[in-house]
């Protein structure tokens, strides 16, 4: 994915959306459901980033936008709270390197900086309008959670 983002941008984002929707639509068996990524962060951070970097064409971007709008309005259930751990891009890169996952060895710091800016624009600056839930923001310095 990271080595040929233009080739894999659309199939990867489609798979992420399906996976996240599947998880969100499963019956809830506990009083709290905590997810690492949501369809909202997928759309407003990752899709925006790929489009801005030229990996998604304007027509494909518009099509993805319609698909995400459908998911937001027809499929995604309500969420109660967004927890935003505001980690610096260098802290994120350190965590990526430490976990040593296959395929993540080529993630550049610039990519993480761009994603950080997207998260800030979405969650802290309200660039995409009202959030789907209240936000709890907390600085994250790298300590284990």
pLDDT score of 35 more than 90:
no
Tokens of 134: 């209240």
Domains of the chain, residue spans: 5-140
Averaged over 94-106, what is the pLDDT? 87
Considering the domain delimited by 5-140, tell me its CATH architecture: 3-Layer(aba) Sandwich (3.40)
Residue 75 vs residue 13, higher pLDDT = 13
Q: Rounded to whole angstroms, what are the CA distances from 2 to 12, 41, 102, 105, 115?
A: 11, 18, 11, 9, 13
According to the model, what pLDDT value does residue 22 have? 85
Active-site positions read 36
Residue pLDDT, tens place only, 106-145: 889 999 999 999 999 999 999 999 998 999 999 988 776 6
Averaged over 23-52, what is the pLDDT? 89
């Amino acid at each position: 994915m990271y080595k040929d983002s233009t080739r894999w941008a659309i199939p990867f984002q489609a798979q992420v959306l399906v996976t996240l929707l599947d998880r969100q639509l499963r019956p809830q068996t506990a009083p709290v459901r905590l997810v690492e990524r949501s369809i909202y962060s997928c759309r407003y951070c990752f899709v925006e980033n790929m489009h801005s970097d030229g990996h998604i064409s304007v027509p494909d971007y518009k099509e993805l936008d319609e698909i995400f709008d459908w998911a937001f309005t027809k499929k995604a259930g309500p969420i109660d709270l967004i927890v935003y751990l505001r980690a610096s891009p260098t802290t994120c890169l350190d965590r990526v390197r430490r976990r040593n996952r296959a395929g993540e060895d080529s993630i550049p710091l610039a990519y993480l900086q761009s994603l950080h800016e997207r998260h800030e624009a979405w969650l802290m600056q309200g660039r995409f309008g009202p959030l789907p839930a209240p936000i709890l923001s907390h600085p994250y310095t790298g300590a284990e959670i």
